[in-house]
Amino acid sequence: MTDVISLSIASWDQPCSAAEQEYALRALEWGSVLLFPQLRFSIQDGESRLLSPTIAGEGKNVSLDPSSGTSRGSDADEAELRLLRSMMQRFATSSKTLLHNLLPRYEAGLQQARTSFRPVEIAGRSTSWRKDDTRLHVDSFPSSPTQGKRILRVFTNVNPHGQSRTWRLGESFEGAARRYLPSLPSPIWGTSHVLNLLGVTKSRRSPYDHFMLQLHDRMKADLAYQPEVAQSVHDFHSGSTWIVFSDQVSHAAMTGQYALEQTFHLPIDYMLDSSQAPLRILERLLGREMT
Ligand code: SIN
Ligand code: FE
């Protein structure tokens, strides 16, 4: 079962010792959640009015492209939008600084993707089963193929009322892959090019992306698996931050409101032990290359 491993880092730009760097690298690559119980992301004066579910309009998240500064998913007015973007941009920068200090091995390979603000209470949110993140799953997104690159995410709970964000954590990636792989259909030849031409995907959906999406869907659709698989519950308290390879760690977000999240992609060559990458595990189990 997945562990949550803590480190006592308390500021976003704190230098990290070689021992902390080594500990963090191994914990993440072996599928633990790395928790910083004292690492709080401070909401500044004036920003507390952003802590309202209405800022996300009809959706559940607001997202920002930190390189261009453009946002999606909020219908707030121009003044509020500016404030929101600046808060999210500050989180994007803080996360990047944290990883720079904590994971220097990844520095040259990390690609900063979107930043998200999650102001809607998770419990009771209505979504299709495929988008229902209260079901255990590994992350894989239909429109964003990674072609084997890792998905590394930094979360922070900024709930102003002290409410935790509660996750379930399930079995190892290899456990889930062994369970479902034998019954997953192979990709249909030519489909990935059609999806790309039609603009359904932002880049080519490789065989790896095909199997990851299938795995994501099968885990979520399996209503017997959800309560029965070995799992633990973890409350990420308000004022804490955690990092996870979410393509590897089985997770389900059960309750909580007001979090920020930053996604990074990492080519597996930068890993200390790329044999733990989902790509390599799937290749090993299927006995074929998948890029
Ligand atoms: C998820 O990635 O499944 C959602 C995590 C969260 O919003 O806490
Ligand atoms: Fe997820």
3-state SS track over 18-70: HHHHHHHHHHHHCCCEEEECCCCCCCCCCHHHHCCHHHHCCCCCEEEECCCCE
Domains by residue range for the chain, with CATH: 4-286 (2.60.120)
Q: Which residues contact 47 (CB under 8 A, 6 or more apart)?
A: 83, 87
How many angstroms is it from 192 CA to the middle of ligand 1?
Answer: 27
Residue 251 has pLDDT above 90, yes or no: yes
What angle, 0 to 180 degrees and rounded to 10, lies between the N-to-C axes of helices 278-286 and 173-180?
Answer: 40
Residue pair 43/158 in contact (Cβ under 8 Å)? The answer is yes
Average pLDDT, the chain: 95
At 147 the three-state DSSP class reads coil
Of residues 17 and 193, the one with the higher pLDDT is: 17
Q: Is 48 exposed, middle or buried (0-12, 13-18, 19+ CB in 10 A)?
A: exposed
Atom 7 in ligand 1: residue holding the nearest Cα: 253
Ligand 1 atom nearest the C-alpha of 122 is: 7
Residue 194 has pLDDT above 80, yes or no: no
- Find the residues whose C-beta lies inside 6 A of ligand 1: 118, 133, 139, 165, 246, 251, 253, 259
Of residues 290 and 66, the one with the higher pLDDT is: 66
- Its pTM stands at 0.96
* Whole-number pLDDT of residue 203: 80
How many angstroms is it from 159 CA to the middle of ligand 2?
Answer: 19
* Whole-number pLDDT of residue 201: 74
* Whole-number pLDDT of residue 196: 78
How many angstroms is it from 249 CA to the middle of ligand 2?
Answer: 9
Residue 200 has pLDDT above 80, yes or no: no
How many angstroms is it from 269 CA to the middle of ligand 1?
Answer: 26
Residues in the chain: 291
Name the percent of the chain lying above pLDDT 90: 87
Residue 278 has pLDDT above 80, yes or no: yes
Lowest pLDDT segment from 53-62, 171-180, 241-250: 53-62
Lowest pLDDT segment from 45-49, 119-123, 187-191: 187-191
* Average pLDDT value for residue range 110-138: 95
Residue 109 has pLDDT above 80, yes or no: yes
Ligand 1 atom nearest the C-alpha of 236 is: 8
* Average pLDDT value for residue range 180-204: 79
